[in-house]
């Protein structure tokens, strides 16, 4: 069967060269028993390719089992894949067959293979090399004849470098690689997919299909689609249900496309290094650490001045010295005489009378949160949406903080 026939049979939409190439490789490798590793971002449709390979293989009459490795808890994944004996662990009330035993003679698809624990990777490597495995809690070797197809959205070479994935397992799985490009690199397929989804939802909800104006088509094609085909399908469904007008303009479509790059540092701080903060608490921690570092530097500077033979000191520093180095003694004197041109008298506590009260800066997290929120609201003239973007938090979180701290915004 040619590529167009495969697309019709499995309802695959798209004419990009990279998609056609991936389908050709899938068909060519299907009659063999070689392991296949499918890589691509989340939402690109990787799950359809194992089905194609299975249906065009000699195993098409055997079982096809799809397993999401990332959805199985680490403590039970060995039991799920390889089975267990009665009494092997608490709750093992009977013998259980694992997926590799159930799929004997067929195909097993291991999705999100990059999430497998290292101990389970060792077991999987043995199955791939010898076709053997041992149930949890057993010593009996079991044979299985299974075709393994794996998929991942993780960069496996990087995971190997980080010590999270076995290099030998990667090369054993990656006998035949199939790469699924993200939707942003298949721009010619975006509008085709949109129209397909629009027709499907029109039939599902019994309403006319939505259409896009020319400018809306351009906006659709130029968008990055970080969620790929899955995101495009969800947005098409939203528009189909919510909008009354069936012809969608660019202005309407723009309301359904999430904005990118919301994570921005508040303008209150200079960006000294490449870093990002997942929430407002991390920003506050950074502020506190910076303050602590500055205080340490200031103390060191004062000590250096006191130890220096000719420090450059003026009488204005007296109050700062007193607050930093006031201890059990009531006064302090420099160890060495100061400059010939500057003379510092011994400083007694009683001799210094400040005309203004010295207020120690608060290091409370809540106080810093309130201060940042107030400054962001003031900068954006009370517009909470822009203030939230400035702080790097969601608008909903900002509303909650304003209510929690009873801030006038």
- Helix, strand, coil percentages (3-state) for the chain, rounded to 5, are 50, 10, 40
CATH class of domain segment(s) 3-181:
alpha beta
Q: How far apart are CA 90 and CA 69, in angstroms?
A: 22
Task: State the burial class of residue 164 (Cβ atoms within 10 Å of its Cβ: 0-12, 13-18, 19+).
Answer: middle
Q: What is the pTM of this model?
A: 0.62
Give the pLDDT confidence of 348-401 residue by residue, as tens digits. Answer: 544 444 444 445 555 677 788 888 888 888 888 888 888 888 888 888 888 888
**Fold for domain 263-302+362-409?**
Arc Repressor Mutant, subunit A (1.10.10)
- Token couple for 371: 């201060």
Q: How far is CA 304 from the centre of its chain?
A: 46
What are the extents of the domains in the chain? 3-181, 184-254, 263-302+362-409, 308-361
Give the pLDDT confidence of 303-319 residue by residue, as tens digits. Answer: 766 665 444 444 445 55
Give residue for tokens 């609201």.
377
Residue length of the chain: 409
Q: Considering only CA atoms, which of 244, 232, 254 is closest in space to residue 208?
A: 244
Between these two residues, 326 and 62, which has the higher pLDDT value? Answer: 62
Q: Considering only CA atoms, which of 223, 142, 219, 235 is closest in space to residue 184?
A: 223
Give the pLDDT confidence of 265-299 residue by residue, as tens digits. Answer: 333 333 334 444 445 556 666 677 777 777 777 77
pLDDT (0 to 100) of residue 264: 36
Decide: 146 and 103 in contact? Cβ < 8 Å.
yes
Q: Considering only CA atoms, which of 406, 398, 375, 141 is closest in space to residue 267?
A: 375
Q: Considering only CA atoms, which of 240, 226, 247, 243 is closest in space to residue 196?
A: 240
> Architecture of domain 184-254 in CATH?
Orthogonal Bundle (1.10)
How would you classify the pairing of strands 36-39 and 347-348? unpaired
Task: State the burial class of residue 151 (Cβ atoms within 10 Å of its Cβ: 0-12, 13-18, 19+).
Answer: buried
Q: In what order do the strands lie in the sheet with 176-179?
A: 64-68, 107-111, 147-152, 36-39, 176-179
pLDDT (0 to 100) of residue 399: 82
Looking from the CA of 384 toward its CB, the CA atoms found within 13 Å total: 13
């Amino acid at each position: 069967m040619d590529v167009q026939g495969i697309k019709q049979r499995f309802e695959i939409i798209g004419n990009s060269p990279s998609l056609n190439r991936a389908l050709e490789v899938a068909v060519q490798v299907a009659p063999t028993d070689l392991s296949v590793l499918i890589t691509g971002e989340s939402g690109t449709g990787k799950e359809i390719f194992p089905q194609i390979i299975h249906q065009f293989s000699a195993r098409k009459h055997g079982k096809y089992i799809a397993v999401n490795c990332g959805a199985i808890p680490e403590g039970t994944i060995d039991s799920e894949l390889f089975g267990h004996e009665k009494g092997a662990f608490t709750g093992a009330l009977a013998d259980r067959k694992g997926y590799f035993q159930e799929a004997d003679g067929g195909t097993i698809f291991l999705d999100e293979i990059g999430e497998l624990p290292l101990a389970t990777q060792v077991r999987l490597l043995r199955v791939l090399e010898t076709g053997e495995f041992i149930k949890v809690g057993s010593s009996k070797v079991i044979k299985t004849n299974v075709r393994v197809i794996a998929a991942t959205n993780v960069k496996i070479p990087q995971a190997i470098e980080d010590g999270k994935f076995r290099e030998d397992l990667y090369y054993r799985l990656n006998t035949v690689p199939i790469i699924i490009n993200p939707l942003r690199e298949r721009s010619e397929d975006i509008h085709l997919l949109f129209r397909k989804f629009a027709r499907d939802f029109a039939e599902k909800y019994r309403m006319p299909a939505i259409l896009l104006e020319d400018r809306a088509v351009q906006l659709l094609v130029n968008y990055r689609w970080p969620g790929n085909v899955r995101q495009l399908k969800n947005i098409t469904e939203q528009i189909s249900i919510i909008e009354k007008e069936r012809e969608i303009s660019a202005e309407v479509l723009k309301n359904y496309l999430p904005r990118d790059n919301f994570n921005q540092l508040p303008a209150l701080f200079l960006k000294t290094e490449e870093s990002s903060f997942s929430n407002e608490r991390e920003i506050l921690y950074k502020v506190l650490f910076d303050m602590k570092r500055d205080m340490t530097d200031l103390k060191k500077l004062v000590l250096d001045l006191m130890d220096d033979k000719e420090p450059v000191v003026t009488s204005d520093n007296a109050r700062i010295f007193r607050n930093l180095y006031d201890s059990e003694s009531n006064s302090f004197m420099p160890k060495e005489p100061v400059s010939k041109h500057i003379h510092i008298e011994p400083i007694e506590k009683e001799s210094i009378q400040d005309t203004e009260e010295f207020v120690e800066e608060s290091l409370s997290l809540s106080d810093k949160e309130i201060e940042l929120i107030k400054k962001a609201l003031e900068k954006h003239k009370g517009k909470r949406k822009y203030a939230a973007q400035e702080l790097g938090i969601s608008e909903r979180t900002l509303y909650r903080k304003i209510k929690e701290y009873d801030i006038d915004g």
